[in-house]
């Protein structure tokens, strides 16, 4: 999830005429850095004072070592799961550091190189809180997800609305900006209804009604753009038939998801993965088998998910002779539930996707600034331990959200836990006023501004301590860059002015035995967050023509996490 976004103009933004403004000139970036330093004060410049610290370069190299896999097993439960056609899976992905690349791209060594990326959320799978004006334009409050959009809207009008969105929300220019930011991956969510299965591809139904298909063409286009701009791609099956979690970002918001209870739906999902590999496998680096399957539902769901990971892995390996990597998720059960699961030598090239949010329960919302940071720090140890002995681990979704105040973050028409408007009743808890954490950032307290900076850095450290991270979502990130909230010429925790008004080279930090030049860390430019205002946090952007390029929306919450689900989210 990312922070809620709202278009400044009618939904179809005019972007082409102003793309030249999308990247700030270096001189302006440097000016912004100086301005931030002057406005923020020394307490913010030195805000990184606690808890998770940058590891020394030597320690970082150790943390980069690929896991020593000890073989496949049933993981942390008693579920009996079998690997389909295991003889065809071993060794498929090459050595532990095997690279996945197309001829024109720089090879990427998974398990050694760090994944640093962004999600393209809200594009090929709609989320009301990311594009509220798209949903408002329908004039129907019953349209709360893509399922109901197809159900209640005229087919032709729905197709036109979606096509316009697909054409404009993400373009090749975004890929150019992502590359310029120093990032190396994108994660692209897509729903099963967009995959053009035919009767020759599956023995199950191929109907997608009431969904409106058509996004597959745009995924193929995105794969070409990624190749042109030297970006690696994680394709993420974000929605499965029957819904795998009941969240609107699965395509269907429902209190009764049935994917895990319906063998035909699971079989169709496996067939969908096989089709994707056959049709586009040469341009996909990592295929995520399914996003946020709801293991917390209990019953037969954990076992069904476990078997699906096995069958999905086998389907990918059977459909391709390449070294495509396969990504699974912890299914809200925690990574330790997957100990010794899909590990070498029975399986190769498997990554674990972990999502980290702290805003979807009263317990989490009760945490102080320091407690949020402390809790994030704990993942360095737990994820690092799992990655060292089991599977490469990636923080595939995370954000700087402190509250769930973003409009429709919890669903269209649903309020926030933070201010007690989430299904309000006698037992509702009110944590605070959303106005303190949304709107114009100039009204935020210095304590909150300082927290955002530290929270961003800590979460980056968590991702860097394992195999990498993918921020949710690009449309929030680019707002931060374009408006100086994310500045390129800086490092994690300390400004790098180098050559302009602030002193010669990069500043270093002394902390006990650590005294390292931050350039040695090797973070991409975009990572080196200098702004005290946090990472793409909510702000008000004037609707002037110069801001139209890819800044055709404003963030409305304090960076609501990626999409809708979160580590401890429960409906």
Contact 63, 465 (CB under 8 A): yes
CA distance 169 to 200: 33
CA distance 383 to 344: 18
Taking alpha carbons only, the member of 517, 368, 561 closest to residue 454 is: 368
Q: Which residue has the tokens 């809207």?
A: 153
According to the model, what pLDDT value does residue 86 have?
35
According to the model, what pLDDT value does residue 83 have?
53
Can you give the pLDDT of all 571 residues of the chain as single tens digits? 433 433 222 223 223 333 333 333 333 333 333 333 333 443 333 333 344 543 333 343 333 344 443 333 333 333 334 454 433 333 333 333 344 444 468 999 999 999 999 999 999 999 999 999 999 999 999 999 999 999 999 999 999 999 999 999 999 999 999 999 899 999 999 999 999 999 999 999 999 999 999 999 999 999 999 999 999 999 999 999 999 999 999 999 999 999 999 999 999 999 999 999 999 999 999 999 999 999 999 999 999 999 999 999 999 999 876 689 999 999 999 999 999 999 999 999 999 999 999 999 999 999 999 999 999 999 999 999 999 999 999 999 999 889 999 999 999 999 999 999 999 989 899 999 999 888 777 888 989 988 988 898 899 999 999 999 999 988 864 444 444 433 332 222 222 222 222 233 332 322 222 223 323 334 444 333 322 223 333 222 222 222 212 222 222 233 333 222 223 333 2
Joined tokens for residue 10: 């009618």
Contact 393, 380 (CB under 8 A): no
CA distance 82 to 541: 53
Question: CA of 275: how far to CAs of 80, 84, 200, 282, 318, in Å?
Answer: 27, 17, 10, 12, 11
Q: What dihedral do alpha carbons 441, 54, 372, 42 form, nearest 10°?
A: -40
List 239's β-bridge partners, or say none: 191
Taking alpha carbons only, the member of 242, 211, 195 closest to residue 145 is: 211
Q: Is the pTM of this model over 0.95?
A: no
Question: ∠ CA(356), CA(358), CA(363), 5° rounding?
Answer: 140
CA distance 83 to 484: 49
According to the model, what pLDDT value does residue 107 have?
93
SS3 content of the chain, % helix, strand, coil (to 5): 35, 10, 50
Q: Could you read off the pLDDT of 69-88 as tens digits, one per residue?
A: 333 333 333 333 445 443 33
Residues marked as catalytic: 292, 397
Taking alpha carbons only, the member of 367, 387, 371 closest to residue 468 is: 387
Taking alpha carbons only, the member of 273, 271, 267 closest to residue 242 is: 267
* Ramachandran angles phi, psi of 175, nearest 5°: -65, -35
Cα 499 from chain centroid (whole Å): 34
Q: Which residue has the tokens 């994917």?
A: 259
Give the CA count within 13 Å in the CB-facing half-sphere of 211: 26
CA distance 474 to 18: 19
List 358's β-bridge partners, or say none: none
Angle of the 172-180 helix axis to the 474-482 helix axis, nearest 10: 60
Q: What is the DSSP string of 183-225?
A: --EEEEEEEGGGS---TTT-SS----TTS---THHHHHHHHHH
Q: What is the DSSP string of 26-71?
A: HHHHHHHHHHHHHHH-HHHHT---SSS-PPPHHHHHHHTSPP----
Within 249-405, residue ranges assigned H as helices are: 263-280, 301-319, 362-365, 369-389
Cis peptide, bond prior to residue 283, ω within 30 of zero: no
According to the model, what pLDDT value does residue 176 have?
95
CA distance 442 to 250: 35
Write the class of the CATH domain 5-555. Answer: alpha beta
Taking alpha carbons only, the member of 471, 475, 447, 474 closest to residue 533 is: 447
Radius of gyration, CA atoms only, the chain: 22
CA distance 242 to 259: 4
The domain limits of the chain are 5-555
CB contact set of 119 (below 8 Å; sequence gap of 6+): 2, 186, 187, 188, 189, 396, 397, 470, 471, 472, 473, 474, 562
Contact 108, 175 (CB under 8 A): no
Handedness of CA 53, 59, 65, 71 (dihedral sign): negative
Taking alpha carbons only, the member of 3, 1, 172 closest to residue 539 is: 3
List 470's β-bridge partners, or say none: 117
CA distance 440 to 540: 5
Contact 210, 143 (CB under 8 A): no
CB contact set of 481 (below 8 Å; sequence gap of 6+): 24, 177, 181, 487, 488, 526
Contact 398, 329 (CB under 8 A): no
According to the model, what pLDDT value does residue 449 have?
86
According to the model, what pLDDT value does residue 453 have?
85
């Amino acid at each position: 999830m990312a922070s809620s976004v709202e278009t400044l103009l009618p939904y179809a933004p005019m972007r082409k005429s102003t793309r030249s403004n999308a990247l700030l000139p270096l001189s302006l970036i440097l000016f912004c850095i100086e301005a931030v330093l002057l406005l923020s004060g020394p307490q913010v410049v030195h805000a990184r004072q606690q808890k998770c610290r940058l590891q020394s370069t030597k320690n970082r190299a150790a943390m980069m070592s690929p896991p020593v896999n000890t073989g496949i097993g049933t993981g942390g439960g008693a579920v009996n799961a079998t690997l389909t056609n295991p003889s065809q899976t071993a060794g498929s992905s090459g050595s532990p550091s095997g690279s996945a690349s197309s001829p024109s791209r720089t090879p990427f060594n998974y398990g050694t190189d760090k994944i640093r990326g962004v999600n393209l959320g809200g594009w090929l799978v709609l989320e009301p809180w990311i594009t509220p004006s798209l949903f408002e334009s329908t004039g129907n409050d019953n349209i709360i997800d893509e399922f109901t959009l197809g159900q209640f809207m005229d087919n032709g009008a729905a197709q036109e609305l979606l096509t316009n969105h697909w054409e404009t929300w993400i373009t090749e220019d975004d890929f150019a900006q992502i590359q310029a930011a120093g990032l190396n991956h994108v994660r692209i969510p897509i729903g099963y209804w967009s995959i053009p299965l035919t009767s020759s591809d599956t023995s199950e139904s191929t109907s997608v009604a009431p969904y409106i298909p058509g996004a597959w063409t745009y995924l193929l286009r995105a794969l070409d753009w990624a190749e042109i701009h030297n970006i690696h791609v994680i394709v993420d099956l974000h929605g499965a038939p029957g819904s795998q979690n009941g969240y609107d970002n699965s395509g269907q918001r429902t209190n009764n998801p049935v994917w895990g209870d319906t063998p035909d739906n699971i079989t169709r999902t496996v067939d969908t993965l096989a089709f994707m590999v056959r049709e586009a496998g040469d341009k996909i680096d990592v295929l995520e088998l399914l996003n946020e399957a709801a293991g917390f539902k209990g019953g037969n769901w954990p076992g069904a998910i476990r078997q699906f990971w096995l069958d999905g892995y086998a389907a990918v390996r059977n459909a391709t002779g390449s070294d495509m990597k396969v990504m699974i998720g912890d299914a809200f059960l925690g990574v330790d539930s997957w100990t010794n699961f899909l590990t070498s030598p029975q399986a190769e090239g498997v990554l674990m996707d972990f999502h980290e949010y702290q805003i979807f329960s009263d317990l989490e919302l009760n945490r102080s600034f320091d407690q949020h940071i402390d809790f994030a720090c704990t993942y360095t140890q737990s994820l690092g331990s799992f990655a060292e002995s089991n599977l490469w681990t990636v923080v595939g979704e995370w954000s700087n959200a402190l509250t769930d105040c973003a409009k429709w973050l919890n669903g269209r028409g649903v309020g926030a836990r933070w201010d007690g408007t989430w299904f309000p009743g006698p037992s509702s808890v009110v944590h605070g006023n959303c106005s303190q954490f949304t709107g114009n950032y100039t009204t935020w307290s210095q304590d909150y501004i300082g927290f955002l900076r530290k929270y961003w850095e800590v979460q980056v450290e968590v991702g860097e301590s394992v195999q990498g991270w993918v921020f949710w979502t690009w449309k929030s990130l680019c707002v931060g860059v374009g408006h100086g909230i994310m500045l390129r010429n800086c490092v994690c925790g300390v400004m790098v002015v180098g050559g302009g008004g602030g002193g010669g080279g990069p500043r270093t930090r002394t902390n006990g035995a650590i005294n390292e030049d931050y350039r040695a860390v090797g973070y991409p430019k975009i990572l080196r967050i200098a702004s005290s205002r946090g990472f793409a946090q909510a702000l008000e952007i004037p609707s002037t023509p110069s801001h139209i390029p890819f800044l055709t929306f404003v963030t409305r919450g304090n960076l609501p996490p990626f999409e809708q689900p979160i580590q401890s989210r429960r409906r």
